[in-house]
Amino acid sequence: MRVKVLAFASYAEALGCGELEVELPAGATVADCVAEIRRGTGAGVPPAPLVAVNRRYARADRVLVEGDEVAFIPPVAGG
């Protein structure tokens, strides 16, 4: 199955782009998607980033389906 991955700020810099498609096996989870990204050019993405699936925060064990949008959300600092 294919999912769309969105990356913002430092994660987009680490990946070299803000959007890409990832091929995953059926039944893959958010954690599997993160691992696949980190295997490629995403070594700068932490092992457990904050992730949203279809614009809702998601846990690492969330099962993905074809066409899901997985957003990697970097930490935000400010005052």
Which whole number is the average pLDDT over 16-42?
92
Q: What is the pLDDT of residue 46?
A: 86
* Phi, psi angle pair for 51, to nearest 5°: -130, 145
DSSP state of 74: -
Q: Residue 60, Cβ neighbours under 10 Å: how many?
A: 15
CATH architecture for residues 2-73: Roll (3.10)
Report the DSSP beta bridge partners of residue 29. 63
CA–CA separation, 27 vs 64, rounded Å? 7
> What's the whole-model pTM score?
0.89
Confidence tier at 40 by pLDDT (50, 70, 90): confident
* DSSP code string of 34-67: HHHHHHTT-TTS-SS-EEEETTEEE-TTPBP-TT
Please state the domain extents for the chain.
2-73
Q: What is the pLDDT of residue 69?
A: 98
